[in-house]
Structure 1
Amino acid sequence: MSTSTRTRTGKSQQAVGHGLSRPHYGTHIFLIVMSIMWLIPLGWALFTALRPKADTDKYGYFSLGGAFNFDNFVTAWTQGGFPQYFMNSLIITVPTIILVLWMSSMMAFAVSRVSWKFNISMLILFTAGNLLPPQVLATPLFEMFKLTQLPYWFSDSGSLLNTYISVIIANTAFQIGFCTFVLSNYMKALSADLTEAALVDGAGLWRQYASIIMPLCKPAVAALATLELIFIYNDYFWPLLFIQSGDRLPVTTAINNLQGTFLSNYNLLAAGAMITVIPTLIIYLVLQKQFVAGLTLGSSKG
């Protein structure tokens, strides 16, 4: 290789190296600004929850004067009845997540790893269901659940209304499409040699699904479980529509118990809102590694 050729090669490699190591100041500034915008409401709610109402009335909400303590959290916990409401949310959220991930994973396996006549049509149908606003089906679902007769030992209303099952059914139906779409794309990125080798060894579809595909989808399932927990736990619409008994409502409605008739204690309301955030924050911190892996691994496959 001549000297001029080596010089040009070295310059091109140096230029490529400079291009790869170029700092992305614009991206960093944008991410910092967006992070601050997202954290300001949360930080302000925590700041308000730590201050007694008397101090905010005296100094104003935009002030630093006065004391800081956890009295509002203690009052909100006892006055809002959070233990019972947390249990209600647990009864609704856990079965819904299990049903959604189980059904959507089977459907995603059918449309992505099995060749049959309607696999693309079914995937389009499930994906299109996400475009339908839930409010459109509120009245038909309410009438359908009201007309579904159940024995009184199972439901005190004699129907699906005022039961946890009605909320679980609605949330499951509206979340399956999204999870099916995500898991099917993730499963398509997995090598086809895996299932072909298993088929040669005599493994049926159920064995391929349970022993080969699903273990490889753990990052995606963990990410979806985290997202679904946030979606279902924070849902306010379906429980308010289908459940009439106040002692069966989820924790998202417990803040209503802190609302005064003529005067609102916003410090107490902020404390109640912060209490409702704690479970989702803990789940995210526990599953943070799997959550990030599930969002990034699929983009690098195929």
Structure 2
Amino acid sequence: MGGPGTLSYPFFFRWPSSPPAERRAFPGGSPAGNGADGRCSIGEGWREMPLVKTEALVLAARPLGDTSKIVTLLTPELGVIRAVAKGARRPKARLAGGTAAYRVIEALLYRKEGRELDLLSEAHVLSSSPRIGSDWRLFLFAGTLSEVALAAGGEGGYHLLKTALELLEGGIEPRSVSVFFLKGTLEAQGLWPDFDCCSACGAPLSGGGAVDVPAGRVFCGRHRNKASLPLSAGGLRLLEGIERRAVLKGRQDGRVVGEALKVCLALAGYHFDLRLRSTELLAGAEHLLKREVLVKKAEGGKG
């Protein structure tokens, strides 16, 4: 995938496909100047807009014209912001480094309430994620977390996502980090089920249980339905938070983390009406890698 920083934006993000909406967001006319040459020019209206300084996480970027980008930022207090980074695609542009995915920046923005797009004036890099940027697997895990953060509206999710990305960058097992982040996001939205006892009979779930995702309830073996997702006793303990510290240190059993992650992804997908494209890409890529390993083992055995 190349060296650090070579993945400039998550290619699996879905972007608005309506140019007129982007043009309406720009004071003084189209974001691409007069629309003839595709170059980005700033209308006079930008100068009348207030400047805002904020820390931000760069989640994604898309090309705008020949030389510029539209970036998606997650901020601590302003939530999700989409802004134009004028000239950021030019070689040695001053905004180029500050618009790469999963960098923490200090952003200076021209913004006005009610507009769809702001203007990114300055982007000072506070920290970057070279490990995530050069490892396709970590990049896709980071993409999954970013998709959920955006779907959740970004409210209160900045510090949680920033911590999760730092854990990925620090080498913590990515599935464990994903469980940590998804649980925290669902809890913050009031969407996390009660794993203490069976929702039907009140019996303790010490031996395991099952999660009914649409109902947001957890049942024992006697009251589970066919569509519910099974959870072992270890998976339940993990999701209850008893072994949270061990999860972040990567000491959990892989099978247990896998079933816990499956439940978390199902809950996030249902409640946020989200089809996680990055997760699908990751699953497909890992399946191909497993097949490749099996083929090599088989060929080695024949030799």
Q: Normalising by structure 1, what TM-score?
A: 0.22
The structure in which a higher percent of residues are strand is: 2
Structure number with bigger Rg: 1
Larger relative contact order (Cα-Cα within 8 Å, sequence gap ≥ 6):
1
The structure in which a higher percent of residues are helix is: 1
Q: Normalising by structure 2, what TM-score?
A: 0.22
